[in-house]
Amino acid sequence: MQFKHFLKFNDFSREEYEYLFERARWIKQEFKQYRQYWPLVDRTLAMIFDKNSTRTRLSFEAGMHQLGGTGIYLSTHDTQLGRGEPVEDAARVISRMVDIIMIRTHKHDTIQRFAKNSRVPVINGLTNEYHPCQIMSDIFTYTEHRGSITGKTVAWIGDANNMCNTWLQAAEIFDFRVHVSTPPGYGIHPERIGLSGTGHYEEFANPRKAVIDADLITTDVWISMGFEVEAEQRKKDFAEFCVNAEMMALAKKDALFMHCLPAHRGEEVSSEVLDGPQSVVWDEAENRLHTQKALMEYLLLGKLNAGN
């Protein structure tokens, strides 16, 4: 049987995202009207977490429940995965018992090895390298507030981490530009992300220059999960990379602010910006639910006609 995985943002085409967004809009509307929609009755999602999570766990577990199915939480701390069972063996076993699998882990290579041995679709719930579910939600959110992101400028301020890498992949799919500003030594590695060219991004040493005329400013924590030993050094190196009101004022007047959350107020973003009128961070978080419901529906049922 043919099926797809969702491991990187560029695993899907623009046309597939347009379809997913149309479905997510409809699914969101039905949810808001308290109308039951159960296309995945009897389907089971396994969620494997090797790192902490609030939004990803909740949006997948609640999302699967709301579609009529069941979500099962597995942690590497209390399964055999944490005691050295090979990823390949775990994939063979788990994928014989459930219909779809979401994984949050460290190395992207781990999720690739898992997917290669899985009989069912695998979704990336975050790796050190990518966070495609979050960017799917972010672009959906941008579109809800401002229309198409094509041709716009996104300013990425801070660490060139999994979120930044995924924005760069998305820029090629949706044809927008990313201004990336990172401290020295924390820059992007376009060759590792598999970008097809250099036309969709530009690097800036000074974050204040990167945000000029931007349509969207976005940032993320300075210390991603798994990088805690570097915390003290990173706090010093990133000190000038806080998105504050002064920085927001340099962007377009109607620019949005996004952050995947959890945020560290006073580090990568000021409370004034996070809680301010340009911030859409709570919508971004909520839209994880609606877009991932569309994603699971698509991976399990394929394309459906609009309105059902």
User: Looking up tokens 């941008």, which residue turns up?
Assistant: 142
Contacts within 8 Å (CB) and 24+ apart, 76-80: 76/48, 76/49, 76/50, 76/105, 79/48
Q: Are the C-beta atoms of residues 251 and 276 closer than 8 Å to each other?
A: no
Tell me, yes or no, if 104 is annotated catalytic. Answer: yes
Residues that bind ligand CP (CB under 6 A): 53-56, 126, 134, 260-261
Q: Which residue of the set 5, 23, 57, 131 is catalytic?
A: 131
Sign, CA dihedral 125-130-131-137, equals negative
Q: Which stretch binds ligand NVA (CB under 6 A): 38-46, 93-101, 149-157, 159-167?
A: 159-167
Please, which residues bridge with residue 203 across strands? 180
Q: Give kind and range of the element (H or E) at residue 190.
A: helix 190-193
Catalytic status, residue 288? yes
Catalytic option among 99, 108, 220, 290: 220
**Using rule CB under 6 A, residue 50 touches ligand NVA:** no
Catalytic residue among 23, 66, 108, 134: 134
In angstroms, the CA 67 to CA 65 distance is 5
Name the segment binding ligand NVA (CB under 6 A); options: 23-31, 88-96, 158-166, 190-198: 158-166
Q: How far is the CB of 268 from ligand CP (least distance, A)?
A: 13
- Minimum Å gap between C-beta 233 and ligand NVA is 17
Cα separation, 182 vs 203, whole angstroms = 8
131 is an active site residue: yes
Judged by CB under 6 A, does residue 224 bind ligand NVA?
A: yes
Q: 105 or 270: whose CB is closer to ligand NVA?
A: 105
Q: Which does 54 bind (CB under 5 to 8 A by kind): ligand CP, ligand NVA, none?
A: ligand CP
Q: CB of 174 within 8 A of CB of 213?
A: no
Contact 17, 139 (CB under 8 A): yes
3-state helix, strand, coil in the chain (%, to 5): 45, 15, 40
Q: Which option in ligand NVA, ligand CP, none does residue 220 bind, with CB closer than 5 to 8 A by kind? A: ligand NVA
How many CB atoms sit inside 10 A of residue 264's CB?
Answer: 15
Please give the Cα distance from 251 to 269 (Å, whole number): 15
How many C-beta atoms lie closer than 10 Å to residue 72's C-beta?
Answer: 15
Please state the closest distance from residue 93 (CB atom) to ligand NVA, in A.
27
For ligand CP, the closer of residues 158 and 190 by Cβ is 158
Interaction residues for ligand NVA, span 193-222 (CB under 6 A): 220-221
* Closest residue to ligand NVA using C-beta atoms: 224
Does 162 bind ligand NVA (CB under 6 A)? Our answer is: yes
CA diameter of the chain: 54
Concatenated DSSP letters for 60-75? HHHHHHHTT-EEEEEE
Burial class (CB in 10 A: 0-12, 13-18, 19+), 232: exposed
> Which residue's beta carbon is nearest to the bound ligand CP?
56
Determine, following the binding rule CB under 6 A, whether residue 161 of this chain makes contact with ligand NVA. yes
Count of chain residues binding ligand NVA (CB under 6 A): 9
Shortest Å distance, C-beta 162 to ligand NVA: 5
Q: Pick the catalytic residue from 200, 234, 259, 288.
A: 288
Residues belonging to the active site: 104, 131, 134, 220, 260, 288
Q: Which residues bind ligand NVA (CB under 6 A)?
A: 126, 161-163, 220-221, 224-225, 260
